[in-house]
Amino acid sequence: MRYLIPALFILLLGFTSTADAQWRAQLHIGLAGSSFRGDIDSNRSPIYRLSGGGGLQFQAPTGFVFEPGLLFVQKGAHLEGELDGIGIEATSEITYLEIPLLVGYRWRKIGSIRPKLLVGPTTSFKLESNISFRALGGDLEQDEDDDTVQERDTSLMIVLAGETTVGGETLVGGIRTSTGLTNIRSTNPELFNATVGLYFGIIF
């Protein structure tokens, strides 16, 4: 990972030497399903939350693209387990400001779509984290801040998307996956974020 970010900037410097390259802005909105990876006894199932944000797209005539961005996302999971012999279900929600640095390639049009593949690291900064829980079959739910969540998370993001032009506007849509590379917990067991989402947007 430590060699990946310098490599991205070396590629970007190569892109900027092309006179016909250009920067464009983009805005996105999407839906992401998130869960945890790790060795925990609780049964896990994903939570689904809206996500949104934007960023820039650097386009080179050769097809290479560089996309730094800023995303607002919520990650976490539904959990079921036992505490002192009592069945418990809980929902963990972690709100992040996520900064992806992606590089990739955009192919020529296939029909009206220009497909592209992007990959790169993301750094996420925790805005808030909370956990709500209740006994299985019970109605009383408690909600509290989860102070065991680390302030920062690093992930590897992969994006498969397509661009098309409608009414003179460039629209984009695709799927993106984010695999956590750092333990998000300050206590055992170790947990890692895992997220898959769909998004749609406009490129200006």
Quote the CA–CA distance of 52 and 83 in Å, as a whole number: 36
Give the strand pairing for 192-203 and 47-59: unpaired
- What confidence tens digit (pLDDT) does each residue in 2-46 have? 555 555 544 554 544 445 668 999 999 999 999 999 888 778 999
Q: State the DSSP string of 33-102.
A: EEEEESS-SSEEE-EEEEEEEEEEEEE-TTSEEEEEEEEEEEEEEEEEEEETTEEEEEEEEEEEEEEEEE
- What confidence tens digit (pLDDT) does each residue in 85-123 have? 778 899 999 999 999 999 999 999 999 999 999 999 999
CA distances from 173 to 27, 46, 145 (A): 11, 22, 34
Q: What is the number of other CB atoms lying within 10 angstroms of the CB of residue 112? A: 10
Structure tokens at 56: 């820039």
pLDDT at 110: 92
Yes or no: say if 101 and 8 are a contact pair by the CB < 8 Å rule. yes
